[in-house]
Every structure is written in structure tokens, then in C-alpha cells.
Structure 1
Amino acid sequence: MLSLGENNFTKLPVVTERVIDVSEIDATKNVQLKNYVSIVVFLGNDVNTNKSGLFNLNEKVYKKFLDYKKFQIIAVYPKGEEVNVEKLKKEIEAFTDMQKWVFLSSSKEEIEGFYTSFAYNEPLINLSSSKAFLIDKKVNLRGRIKDADSKDGMLYGYNMNSVSVLNGKLKDDVKVLYYEYYAAFKDRNKNKADRKEVGL
């Protein structure tokens, strides 16, 4: 990841600024998007609808970034689905370390309001989406604005049912986002060193 040349480095586009922080719909107030690199998914009223997509996401993306700092996957589901979500968690747990998977229940209205803040024109179906959404530390939705496979070039979410999309787009975009933070950290340290050198 860090072998990317700085001259060739371009930031990952913001497709929607300042979405609602998930802390606003979390009754426990233990979960937040701010200061994290987050992938958000919507499980819906039938958590099995996107089960194969979640397994794809776990294998192709989550496992690659498990050791990265401030990384998480947040799976949002409606209240009342707790038993089915526990079964799903156990199935995923058989294959992976779940420490950075977060399952969050909320009301139908709050889930819809949260999703609406993404400004994505594809509606939820029974509170579910086949897409995974990438959100940065400032709670902006990231994606692509020149995506060859999208009719208007705008990519808001990544299709979890497509291994090629997860491998070739989401995984790469998470890497770019982390490199963006790495480059900014490096620049800050360089500026501090420069100021020190000139006595500021």
C-alpha cells in the first residue's frame, strides 16, 4: 500500500459530505463513525438476504484490514432481529476474528433516516441493501465519481455479491483512504520538523 508513489496519489472522492453519525441511532452510544474508517452494511428485516454478500465482504475485505487501526464494519439491523443476527454472527465467527465487526440494532425510522443521509438514489428494500458503504474519519461517504461500471460515473456503494467489485474496488479504495491518512500524517510531521528547524 505504502509503495504508491506520492506523485501518482489521488485522494478518494467524497460522494456525500457529513452523513449522520451512527451514534445518533445507537441507543447505547457505544458506536460511532467519527475517527474511524468504517464499512457500513444494512442487514434488513431478513438478515439471510445478504448473507453470502457478508461472507464475501468478510473474506475479501475485512480480513485484509483486520490489523489496521481504527477500522470497523458496522452491520445495521432493525430491532426484533436479534436472534437471527446472533445466528449470523456465529456463522461468520467460525471463519474469522470478530473484534472489528459491530452489529447495531435500531428502529425502522432511524435506520431509514441514517440511510437517507447518504444521498444515494437506490432505496433500501425491507431495510436491506446489497451494497457496502465506505465512510471516512470525518463521517463523509467515500466512493468514485468516474466509475466505468456506473451509468453516471458515481459509485456510492460497493456490491457485496460481486467478488470482483470487493476485490478490485472496495479493497483498493480502503487502501487509498488509509494512504491518504498516512500521507497527511507524514506531511504534519514534516511541517513540524520544518518549523522546528527555522525556530518557529
Structure 2
Amino acid sequence: MKKFFVLTVLFALPIIAYLFFASGKNNFARLPVLTENVTEVSNLSTYSGDTVSLKDHISVVAFFGNNLEDFRGNTFNLDKKILEKYYGFDDFQFVIILPESAREDAAAFAEEFEGITNAEEWKFVFGSPQEIETIFKSFDSPYQLSGNGYSPYVFIIDKAGNLRGRDDDNDEDLYGYDSRDIAELTNKMNDDVKVILAEYRLALKKNNAEREY
């Protein structure tokens, strides 16, 4: 009987420990803050005149320049691998920051893709080169913005206006995700978007439970 008890404990204990730590990791996972208080986009213009704000939203932010071909493929990759899974979540948005010179091309591009993606969910905002440069620099990333306001990297901004990413990605910080790289979108960005959405869902449940209490 003692042998049976000992064998049971030796067999069950590692499984219980694994389940405990796995549960703790999932419940308390947070996507690290890499840059606090990035510059708002609410002063940039839109098609409709409505204000687009990062505050109180979980935003995927892209700087795709004024070359239609540059943002055609990148946006399509991003939409199919990441965004279309999450458009239904409250307060989630995709913000594309473009120079004023890209306004007509962006409208034509969105119309072209309306039949195969959720292009109506894309929020285009337009600014001067100086305004775009200021916003990009506020992210404090190691990436560079081209002369026409283009970067292949896209960024996750939380509701408080902080840039989220990874602080342990192959011993480096991962500030943005390369929209040209399908594997990076699928394996890294998709996981990180899930984490930050789960973080806010858990916080909401906790707040609701405390109010009921």
C-alpha cells in the first residue's frame, strides 16, 4: 500500500506542479511596455473628419508611406494573418499613418480590397512629414522611417498610449513586427495580440467582479 501511495505521489506531483505553473503563466502574462506615452494621432486628418485616437484603444499602428505598392502587400499580409481575427473585439483598431500625398492612392487601395478584406475597418490618418516623423520617433524604436514616411514595421499600442512588445526576443527587445515577414506575423505578433487582448479581458472581468462584490 505504501509503495502504491509513493508511486502515485511521484507520478502525480510533477503533473500537478506543471498545471499550477502553466495556469499561473497564462493568468498573469503581460505584454511588456517598451515605450511609455507615445505621441497621439488625434490631430491628424481623416477622410470623414472624425477623430482617430490611440487613447482607450488597443491599436495596431503602421507607417506605410506614399508608395501604393509598399503598403499594398504589407497591409494584405497583416490583414490576413492578424487583423481579421480580431476586428470583432471592442476597442481594437488598425491605424495606418500616411502622408497627405498618399490620400488618393489610399482611397483607391481600400476600395480595391473591400471585397476580400475588412478594409472598412482600416483607419487612415494623414499628416505632414514632420508630424509623422514626430509620432514615429516617440515610439523610441531602433527602426528607421524612410523619406516618404514608410516603415515595414507595425506596432502594438495599448489603451494608455504605451508601446508594447517583447523584452526577451533572442536577447533583444522587439518593438515592432515586420509586416513583410509572414512567419513573424504568424508566430510572434499573433501571439502578442492575443496576450494583450487577454490582459484587458481579465482586467475587465476583475473590475466587474469587484463592483458586484
TM score, norm. by length of structure 1? 0.87
The equivalent of 1:144 in structure 2 is 166
- Equivalent residue number for residue 43 of structure 1: 64
* Structure 1 match to 2:151: 129
Between Structure 1 and Structure 2, whose CA radius of gyration is higher? 2
Structure 2 gaps of 5+ residues are 1-21
> How far apart are 1:50 and its partner, in Å?
3.2
* Structure 1 residues 175 and 20: CA distance shift in structure 2, 3 A: same
Q: Could you list the per-position Cα deviations for residues 13-36 of structure 1 after superposition, in whole angstroms to 9, with x for gaps in the alignment?
A: 011001011113347461101111
Write the distance in 1 (CA, Å) between the matches of 2:63 and 2:117. Answer: 20
- Choose between structure 1 and 2 for higher RCO, CA contacts under 8 A separated by at least 6 residues: 1
Q: Is the 8 A contact 2:61 2:97 kept in 1?
A: yes
Give 2:184's match in structure 1, choosing from 165, 170, 175: 165
How many residue pairs get aligned? The number is 187
> Whose helix proportion is higher, 1 or 2?
2
CA distance in 1: counterparts of 2:110 and 2:195, whole angstroms? 29
From 71, 75, 94, the counterpart of 1:73: 94
Contact 2:63 / 2:96 at 8 angstroms: preserved in 1? yes
1:32-59 alpha-carbon deviations (Å, 9 max, x no partner): 0111111011121313223211110010
More strand by share: 2
Aligned-pair identity in percent equals: 35
> Are the aligned partners of 2:114 and 2:120 in contact in 1 as well (CA < 8 Å)?
no
SS at match of 1:146: strand
RMSD between aligned alpha carbons? 1.6
| CA distance in structure 2 between the partners assigned to 1:98 and 1:157 by the alignment | 22
Q: Secondary structure at 1:129's aligned position in 2?
A: strand
Matches within 5 A, 1:13-162: 13-26=32-45, 28=49, 30-125=51-146, 126-148=148-170, 152-162=171-181
Long gaps (5+) in structure 1: 195-200
